[in-house]
């Protein structure tokens, strides 16, 4: 089914790109710009799952989303929510992985209460001192524990391959799904930028290859070999063929802009993004959906993911040093 035959794609925007806004304000801006959904990252100031009054706050948000006509997916990649010293710890790979499992169960329950279309999560970076086999076993076990709650809640899991993490590619997701026994509730969150960053195939081919399993789409621009979420037009992706592939696949879920480092100019960035996507969709409907102009159409390999992850790793090491200094000064 093509985009023209199946109707317009449903564009959303990630609340992690509105980190300096109240959640209700962010939702109102997103809806006012013409988006039809939000990718809600559970965070300290955005429906904190550990703060008092969660049931009341969730019910109020559900009402507001309904009034605004916004669909929702739940994202779980907030920094420092579970550990104030380490941005994503603990993950499903850590010794303390039960903390992450508890958080993801809460996310599923919140997703059920909000009528979410998916709950998205990732593996995490393999911790120092944890071997690859142990990390893999922990990941499979953790994901297996989430399938039943997701099935009971009627909220699909969207596992996201993330560059630099234990599962970073579509091939890795396929391996994980197979290890779980291919449960129906275990779907895929596909980040379009990640496809350009490290997948060997052109981005539209990636979409087509996994279309039957995609429950959530994140969209952003990116360059080959560099895991940095960019505004549209700043990277190497040719978007009309990508949107055409999503439409041809009959994908009806949210296609949510993922720009977590752009909160400083959130309304302007969100406005530019929806304008870009609408124009790209018009081009796709007009038939420009076969060959990318700025991106390679042959298989490519990436030997290393650059810059942003390296900077964040350095920042993480600095954080550990600061923590040790602070604790050393305590009486």
Q: Mean pLDDT per segment of 10 residues, for the chain of length 331 residues?
A: 56 98 98 99 98 99 99 98 97 99 99 99 98 99 99 99 98 99 99 98 98 99 97 98 98 98 97 98 83 50 58 46 46 44
Q: Is 266 exposed, middle or buried (0-12, 13-18, 19+ CB in 10 A)?
A: buried
**Type and span of the H or E element at 189:** strand 186-191
The fold of the 3-329 domain, in CATH, is TIM Barrel (3.20.20)
Instruction: Give strand pairing partners of 38.
Output: 13, 72
Q: Output the pLDDT for position 3.
A: 35
pLDDT of residue 291: 45
- Does residue 228 contact residue 308 with C-beta atoms inside 8 Å? yes
pTM of the model: 0.89
CA triple 245-247-251, angle to 5 deg: 105
CB 193 within 8 Å of CB 219: yes
């Amino acid at each position: 089914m093509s985009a023209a035959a199946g109707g317009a794609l449903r564009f959303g925007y990630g609340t992690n790109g509105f980190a300096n806004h109240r959640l209700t304000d962010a939702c109102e801006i997103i809806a006012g710009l013409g988006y039809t959904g939000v990718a809600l990252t559970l965070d300290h100031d955005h429906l904190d799952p550990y703060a008092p009054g969660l049931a009341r706050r969730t019910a109020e948000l559900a009402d507001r989303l309904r009034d605004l006509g916004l669909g929702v997916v739940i994202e779980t990649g907030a920094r420092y929510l579970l550990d104030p010293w380490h941005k994503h710890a603990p993950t499903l790979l850590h010794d303390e992985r039960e903390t992450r499992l508890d958080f993801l169960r809460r996310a599923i329950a919140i997703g059920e209460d909000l009528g979410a279309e998916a709950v998205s999560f990732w593996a995490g970076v393999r911790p120092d001192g944890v071997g690859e086999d142990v990390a893999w076993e922990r990941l499979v076990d953790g994901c297996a524990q989430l399938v039943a709650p997701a099935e009971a809640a009627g909220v699909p899991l969207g596992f996201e391959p993330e560059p630099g993490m234990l599962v970073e590619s579509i091939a890795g997701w396929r391996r994980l799904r197979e290890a779980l026994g291919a449960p129906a509730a275990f779907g895929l969150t596909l980040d379009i930028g990640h496809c350009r960053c490290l997948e060997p195939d052109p981005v539209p081919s990636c979409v087509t290859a996994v279309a039957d399993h995609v429950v959530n789409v994140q969209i952003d621009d990116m360059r080959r070999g560099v895991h940095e979420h960019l505004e549209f037009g700043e990277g190497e992706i040719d978007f009309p063929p990508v949107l055409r592939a999503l439409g041809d696949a009959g994908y009806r879920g949210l296609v949510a802009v993922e720009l977590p480092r752009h909160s400083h100019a959130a309304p302007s960035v969100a406005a530019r993004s929806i304008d870009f996507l609408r124009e790209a969709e018009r081009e796709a409907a007009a038939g420009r959906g076969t060959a990318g102009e700025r991106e390679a159409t042959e298989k490519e390999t990436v030997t290393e993911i650059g810059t942003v992850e390296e900077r964040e790793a350095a920042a993480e090491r600095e954080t550990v040093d600061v923590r040790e200094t602070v604790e050393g000064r305590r009486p």
